[in-house]
Structure formats: structure tokens, C-alpha cells
Structure 1
Amino acid sequence: MTRRAELEARLARVEQEIADACAAAGRARDEITLIAVTKTYPAADVALLAGLGVTDVGENRHPEARDKLEELDGLLSAGVARPRMHFVGGLQTNKAGAVARYADVVHSVDRPKLARSLARGAEAAERVLDCLVQVDFGGDDAGRAGVLPEGVDELADLVADAPALRLRGVMTVAPLGEDPEPHFAHLAEIADGLRARHASADMISAGMSGDFAAAVRHGATHLRIGRSILGERPPLQ
């Protein structure tokens, strides 16, 4: 089986599972954006996915994401648009300015210093960068990215007030080993409150290969799915 055929088959299975989850939740499939998380996979895979109709991809490391985008331009078939690039991983402040120059959306804004660095980078590139506030439901789990729920409003206001940033909503990664349902339900409540204050904050990024059906039940608009589409990840170099 060719790599294209493999990706096509995996993508079809995931699309059917998303459709089933939407039907069970009483939602329309077009309410959901699938982000194929292509981190550690080659630009050739991204080009194949784009040719199969994938419009959004996710990356989590700089400069891998930047280099892959640059390579991608020479791999896309005629008439195939470059997918939107979502930066979905934890981001060091000293790399934020570079990421702000090429990412279409950053899902992992979790502290004021990072927001200000992204704003400076986007302003220098003369562009407006879509941003999501990453929410941490892990509590005392040191090292986990995200702002605690009680800090979301303050950070969101800072993002919304930056001329070079556009507040688009919230993101979370459900804590490992825990039932994701209560966390996704809590995220939906936070998102509702945020949207009431900032009309542009209409994105809820939640759900990955193992838990996206639960995320759909709780209003997720963007699913970040990697392994189910691309297979087991190659080891990091």
C-alpha cells in the first residue's frame, strides 16, 4: 500500500468516527474542524493530506514547523492550497516571535509574557495572529502547560487588547489517566463566558485521537488528531 493510500484509508476512518460522534451529539459535521497533527512527520505527508482535502494541520516544535512549511511549498500539487498551520505545543518565549511570523493560529498561549512576545513578533511581521488561551485542568501537576481556569479571563483580556493578536477561544489537553468528560464540560463553560465578553472567541480546541468523541459532546469546534491519521510517530531526532 502506498503512503497516500494508507493516509486516505486512515483519514476516511477518522472522518467516519467524527461523523458518528457528531450524530450522537446532535451536531452537524460542518461545526467541526479537523486538525491533522503532523508533528515529527515529513512535509511529504502534509502534502499528501492536503491533496486528500485536509485544510488544517498542527505542529508543536519550532523550527520543525517553520522548516516543514518552507519545504511544503515545493511539494503541493497544482491547485492544492497550503493547509492552515496551527501551532499546538508548548512554546518558549524566546521562540514566540519566530512562530508568530508563520503560524496561522497559536493554541498554547498560557502566560502574559508569551502573549506579549507573540504580539511583538506578529506586529513586526505586519500581520494579525489568531490565538487561543490554553487552560490547565491538571492542578498541581508541575510542568504542565496552560493557565488555571481562574486565570483565563485576565490572560484573554491581555490577548484581546493586543492589536497584532486576535483572541479566538480556548484550548485544553485532558489530564492523562483521567476521565476527560468533566474537563471538557468545564472548558465549555469557560468558553461560553469568554464568548459573551469577546465575540471573536468562538473556538474550542479539545480532543485528540483517544478522546475526541467526548470533546464533540461538549462543544469542541477543533479536534487535534495525529496518531489515528498518520500512524505511530517516528522517534524524535
Structure 2
Amino acid sequence: MTTATSTAATTWTTTRGPLAQAASMTARSLASIRHQPAQLVDYLMIPMMILLSITFFMGGQMMGSWQAFLDYAGPTLIAMGLFFAIVSTGLGLFADIKTGVFDRLTAMPVSRFALLAGRVAADMIKHLWALLIVGGVAFAIGYRADGGVLGVAGAAAAVMLFLFASSWSMALVGLTAKSEEQIQTWMVSLLMPLAYTSTMFVEIETLPGPVQWWARVNPLTALADTMRVLLAGETPGGEALALLGWCAAILAVFVPLSLRAYRRKLTS
């Protein structure tokens, strides 16, 4: 980044593209970990608590033994916990705007997309860290995947793709919310109903008829089914196409809306 100085003003110019700028914004967001390492715990605690509490306290009641429940729902419980943790993206953007961080950055020739994408990408790295740690705990308490390393890697990639797409919805919430409490309310009113009306930890045949219809079209069901196929070492089919379709649709809707909300925030 260079400057061209005149007697009237200082003009900032750059030859870096949006992706390179997004990488710089990602590094900036991750740098905060050195000063606030406890934020990694925030990303870890929700999926860890969901995995352990539901497995040990509800698993035996639902499937006869907690071990059987862990084999069926352990990985998808982790994914559900990580899905709840995407609220951190909204809270982080809200804090950046509230403290004036973006006001300083927008005085430079930085792509608006790069500012938002950098935050989302940094959160993806934190989600991946939590996925590795909680996945290790699931392995330690007895979970094994028939699909081996490739199956586990494929399931992890599916989770990260869905989290990336879903995080843009929380970016929009963070840019339009009036308070942190409002962002938390979105988690309760939107994320939790989606998770608990999917097949993340229940078999679809056990649900009432009308609920089964919704569970089949629920994007989290597409994620859960894709993960189970990959972890079983099978070749994904319609469930993976449904997951990719949902991710594409979410990105197509929420990326433009987030950029629009950010532009409005700057001019308000």
C-alpha cells in the first residue's frame, strides 16, 4: 500500500486484489488471539458441552446405550455445536463497528467484501480448531469411523463448507442488530429451531409426519446425512447435492445482503 501526497490531501492507493486484502483482514482478526486467547475457549465450549451432555445424559435413553448413540450422532452433535457458535461472527462484526475499527479501515482503499470476508475466514479457522479438539474428544471416548481418515476428512470439509455459508447469515445479523442481546436472540429464535428440527441426533422415522417433511428439507439434515455417508465410507449422492445446493443458496442470498447492509451502515 502506498501514498501519493499533494498539498490538498493524501490519497491512498493499492494494487492488492480483494482476496489478498481479505487474507490481510483474516490475519488481523487472528492476531487478536495473542491478546485474548480465551476467545478460543468460546468457540470450543458450545460443541464440547453439546457432545458430552447429550451423549452421556440422553444417549442411553434414546438408543439403549450412550455408546450406540455416540456412533450414530457423535459427529453431527459436534457439527450442531459449531453451528450454534457461528453467532460469534455476528458478535465480532458488531463489536468492530461499535468500536470504530471499520471506520478506520474504510478510510483506506480496502474492498468492502475483504473486510467482511476476512472476519468470516478468521472465524472459520477458529471453528476448525474447535472441530479438531472436540473431534479428538469424541475419538477418545470411543467414536470410530468406518470410512477411515478419508471419511473423517470429507465429513470435516462438509461441516466447514456449511459453517462458511451459514456464517454470512450471522454477518448480516451483526451488521443490522441494535445490540448484542438482539444477536443472541437470533441464535435462540433461528439457529436452535433449525438444529432441533433436523436429523442431527434423531432418526427421521421417529418424528411425526408433518415434522418429517420439514426435517427432510432442513439444510442441517442435508449436512447430517452427508456426514454419515462419508463417515461410513460410502459414496455421497443426493444428500451431498442437497448440501451443496443449500450452501450455494445461502451464499447467494446473504453475501449481497451483508455487503448492502455494510454500505448502509457506513452512510448512516
TM-score, L = length of structure 2: 0.22
Larger Rg: 2
Identify which of structures 1 and 2 has the higher relative contact order when contacts are C-alpha pairs closer than 8 Å and 6+ apart. 2
Larger strand share, 1 or 2? 1
